[in-house]
Amino acid sequence: MKCIKLIIGLILVSLLFSGFWSGNGENENHKERVERIKTKNETLKLLYKYAPEARGMIARSYGYATFANFGVNVILFSAEGGKGLAHNNRTKKNTYMNMASGGAGFGLGVKDFRAIFLFRDAKAYNNFINHGWEANAQADVAAKAGKQGGAINAAITVASGVRLYKLTQNGLAFQATIQGTKYWKDGDLN
């Protein structure tokens, strides 16, 4: 009997700490939203440092999205995952999003990078947040650790009305891949 009470007690305590009864689920969601806004601000600051012309482009755009991503390339396969948000400059509303990517091609390495999308109009913006699919070919070289090293990144047009900047944070990677990437709304944060 003591064993059953102990097990029930442990289950109740774990549910309490997981936010099941205490409302911590929404508190955790709030913390995640705040963290993503902080990451967005840091990403934009980094972008403006390396591409000052982007500040005016973002201000004039219908909206933009920023993502913090982590990628791995192992010989013939690549995978990336990340999270971020899309910001509508007209309504000032944030849409919290996630991303995942997989691909094939030659590559080797690991990198932590940031992606910044600029949307020229409502159609491009709404298509991204509601459908969010991108298929692309990419080639890049990155060798960076903290403030040391550098990365070859370019602003490219990935779809009609959509421009993309990629900034490498840390990592060592060489890749030439064809990837499929899916961006989607975060069901818990929106």
- pLDDT for 154-182, tens place per residue? 566 667 899 888 887 654 445 555 567 88
CA neighbor of 166 nearest in space, from 71, 89, 90 = 71
Beta strands 162-185 and 94-119: pairing type?
Answer: antiparallel
Low-confidence winner among 79-93, 109-123, 155-169 (lowest mean pLDDT): 155-169
Q: What is the pLDDT of residue 73?
A: 74
Backbone angles phi, psi at 129, to 5 degrees: -75, -25
Q: What is the mean pLDDT of residues 38-49?
A: 94
Q: What is the pLDDT of residue 86?
A: 98
pTM: 0.75
Q: What is the pLDDT of residue 124?
A: 94
Buried b (16+ CB within 10 A) or exposed e, 40-61: beebbebbeeebeebeebbeeb
Cα(188)–Cα(190) distance, integer angstroms: 6
Domain ranges of the chain: 6-185
Q: What is the pLDDT of residue 18?
A: 42
